[in-house]
Structure 1
Amino acid sequence: MATARRRTSTGPRSRRRHTPYRVGLDLYHRIAELGLLGPRDKVVLLDGILVNKMTKGDPHISTVKLIVVGLGRVVPQEFHVSKEDPIALPGGPWGGDSEPEPDVLVLRGTIRDYNARKPGPADVPLIVEVADSSLYEDRRHITRFAWAGIPVCWLVNLRKRTIEVYTDPSGPGEDPRYATVRTLGEADPIPVVIDGRDCGSIPARDLLP
């Protein structure tokens, strides 16, 4: 009697779906403390997943420097300007913790206040992202910042040479967003508001390369 052979499928239906392992902020920091991520491991924690950092072009780099200089002239003494430093965001709109490294941040207090901890949402009254090829991901960052309640966010769009100013964050919820969005051009002044305080303005052309 012939024995029926069991057929083993090797097609797509037989493949297991792999679910990414989510990492929380505590574990992410522990990994860094243990030196498990070296200089060549250019990754960042977004929504609980380690993802590669995007490469930045020369116009992007120049713009970040211009923004740091511009903001440094107008922020109050009890704040300071930082660039490309991590901010710890517990939870988020897509699940999982994030620790993005925004292009520019205005931080409460002094540099030494963060010797032993990462800044959190309550420490950041203003955050800036510079977008060229990274526009899609930067808009996702804005959603994360709205969820976290960051009061003011700027998105510098290098392709259109505009600056989008986001205010009135919704905080956590099903549809986190900023209630007010203004798109300003090169000829416009960009208002600088820190903790609800009007600190003057910076000409947009001074912030663009």
Structure 2
Amino acid sequence: MKTLAKWTVDDYHRMIAAGILNNRRVELLAGEIVEMAPETPIHYNTAKRNAKYLENLLAEKADVRFNGPITLQNSEPEPDIAIVRPLDSVYNNRHPELEDIFWLIEIAKTNQKKDLELKTTIYATALIQEYWVIDLSSKQMTIFHQPESGKYLIQQVIYQGGISPLAFPEIQISIEQLLN
């Protein structure tokens, strides 16, 4: 059996700085450099439209980041949407980290397994309090809460209605808006 070398976030940053990963769409997941699937038009447009929708709802409360990296202990994933503390000037020197993150959203069209398994484990292990997966194929959204021991204890699948994120219980987000 082969043992794979695991990369640290610092190793990954040095590879980026050295140009080793130029022109490669990759992300660091659980110490492994993983190729990112090409984005389909519907995936890109849904993520962009939802980021704009959430920016309007969360104006002045949060920074809604679109297709940008976040830094966790042994991963630097690039969620489709990250809702983080509005600390723009701090993000000139680093990506959002655990203490900055309100919740994360992935849009799934062709990579449901990666988003519902690998990234769920990474985000739960990092103690991301809330994680949503919008599944464009089945027109449903899976919401994960209560991370513990590398798993989310609460998983809910919804198709319609509204939801209030844990960080902003006063905000009502339309599921139909997110899925269309």
TM-score in terms of structure 2 length: 0.92
Figure out how many residues of one structure are paired with residues of the other and give that number: 179
Amino acid paired to 2:14: R
For residues 18 and 181 of structure 1, the distance between their equivalents in structure 2, rounded to whole angstroms, comes to 34
User: Pick from 65, 68, 84: which aligns with 2:67?
Assistant: 84
Asked if 1:37 corresponds to 2:15, the answer is no
1:141 aligns with 2:119: yes
**TM-align CA RMSD:** 1.6
Give the alignment partner of residue 56 of structure 1, picking from 27, 36, 39: 39
**Helix, strand or coil at the partner of 1:199:** coil
Letter in 1 for 2:49: L
Could you say what secondary structure the match of 1:137 adopts?
helix
Letter of the 2:3 counterpart: T
Q: Distance in 1 between matches of 2:165 and 2:156?
A: 13
How far apart in 2 are the matches of 1:160 and 1:189? 18
Q: Distance in 2 between matches of 1:159 and 1:190?
A: 21
Hey, what does 1:25 align to over in structure 2?
A: 9
Residue 109 (structure 2) pairs with residue 110 (structure 1): no
Displacement of 1:66: 2.0
1:55-102 Cα deviation digits (max 9, x unpaired): 111111121012102211222524210011111121xxxxxx211100
AA matched with 1:70? Y
User: Where in structure 2 are the equivalents of 1:118-157 lying within 5 Å?
Assistant: 118-139=95-116, 140-157=118-135
User: Is 2:29–2:122's contact at 8 Å kept on the other side of the alignment?
Assistant: no
Q: 1:26, CA displacement in angstroms? A: 0.8
Q: Identify which of 163, 180, 191 aligns with 2:164.
A: 191
Q: Is the 8 A contact 2:31 2:75 kept in 1?
A: yes
Partner in structure 1 of residue 144 of structure 2: 166
The percent of aligned pairs where both chains have the same amino acid is 26
Q: Is the partner of 2:172 in helix, strand or coil?
A: strand
Letter in 2 for 1:207: L
Distance (Å, rounded) in 1 between the aligned partners of 2:166 and 2:170: 6
C-alpha contact 1:146 1:169 (8 A) present in aligned 2? yes
Q: Distance in 2 between matches of 1:154 and 1:67?
A: 12
Measured after TM superposition, the shift of residue 199 of structure 1 is 3.3
Structure 1 spans left out of the alignment, 5+ residues: 1-16, 91-96
